Amino acid sequence: MSLIESINKDNLPKHLAIIMDGNGRWAKQKGLLRTLGHESGTKSVKSTVETCAKLGIENLTLYAFSTENWNRPKLEVDTLMKLLVRSLKKELKSLQKNNIQLNSIGNLSKLPESILKELNDVIDKTKDNTRMTLTLALSYGSREELLNVVKNIGYKVKNNIISIDTIDESIINQHLYTHNLPDVDLLIRTSGEHRISNFLLWQIAYAELFFTDVLWPDFTDENLYEAIISYQKRERRFGKTSEQIKQT
């Protein structure tokens, strides 16, 4: 039986998030510039997005550019931005064909105007697509996101818009960038690193984590299937005992 045949289509993660790591190391191993690693990584993005849609995964979030990535060498940042614009223009037709809606989260005000224009254009043109929501985390940092949540809720309490006694998890969820998305069920990180890197810290509270040594440009459908099969073999208890889960 092939890997894809082993996947239970009735037990897919509703929200899959991926930390796409290893582009630079992939390029270094091959004696290439880091920027060429990022270019090669776009092929894995395209393949993963289309495969997730075909499988029936409803929400896919990709960590494309973190708030910390702005500190990288200017040439690398500029290349990443150019790649983003080029990919958005190039993949619009594919997003429409596959009925995929584009979404974005992060401190988007930091993005260059040309990027923002292209991003908003693709978001607008795909807003009615229903097969899958693809979210790009751009200029994203979870600590910054949570800080903004605290500030926004604090402002509303101060101005009597909401009462402090009504603040609960649902109120916090409403103020997150991901307010229109469910919590993450499965988080994949490539390249052998075993850390979260300031990504969706609130949203992954009960996510299953899958780490692989595969560098992102080498990430294939087979690697994706392995992660999903691993997820499906796990018992998700959400703080309960195995016995309680079996009784429900």
In percent, how much of the chain has pLDDT > 70?
Answer: 95
Q: Tell me the average pLDDT across 198-222.
A: 98
Region 108-130: mean pLDDT is: 95
Q: Has residue 80 got a pLDDT over 80?
A: yes
Comparing C-alpha atoms, which of 107, 19, 115, 37 is closest to residue 76? 37
Residues near 232 by beta carbon (within 8 Å), at least 6 away in sequence? 7, 8, 11
Whole-number Å distance between alpha carbons of 179 and 169: 11
Residue 244 has pLDDT above 60, yes or no: no
| Mean pLDDT for the stretch of residues 45-63 | 97
| Cβ 81 vs Cβ 66: under 8 Å | no
Q: Given 8, 10, 11, 21, which residue is catalytic? A: 21
Please say if the pLDDT value at position 245 is more than 60: no
Q: How confident is the model at residue 196 (pLDDT cuts 50, 70, 90)?
A: very high
Tell me the per-residue pLDDT of 16-26, one tens digit each, with 9 for 90 and over.
Answer: 999 999 999 99
Cβ–Cβ under 8 Å, residues 85 and 118: yes
More confident residue, 75 or 42: 42
How is residue 59 written in tokens? 């929400």
Question: Would you say residue 194 has pLDDT above 80?
Answer: yes
**Mapping DSSP to helix (H, G, I), strand (E, B) and coil, where does residue 83 land?**
helix
pLDDT at residue number 121: 96
How many residues would you count in the chain?
Answer: 248
Confidence at residue 20, expressed as pLDDT on a 0 to 100 scale: 97
**Separation of alpha carbons 200 and 115, rounded Å:** 23
Residue 209 phi/psi, 5-degree rounding, is: -110, 135
Q: What is the mean pLDDT of residues 201-218?
A: 98
Output the pLDDT for position 71: 94
The pLDDT, as a whole number, for residue 246 is 63
Q: Which helix (H) or strand (E) holds 17?
A: strand 15-19
pLDDT in tens, 121-167: 999 999 999 999 999 999 999 999 999 999 999 999 999 999 999 99
Annotation says 198 is catalytic? no
- Report pLDDT for 1: 74
User: 221 an active-site residue?
Assistant: no
Mean pLDDT, the chain, as a whole number?
94
Edge to edge, the sheet with strand 132-140 lists 100-105, 132-140, 59-66, 15-19, 186-189, 208-211
* pLDDT score of 248 more than 70: no
Indicate which residue of 69, 120, 148, 198 is catalytic.
69
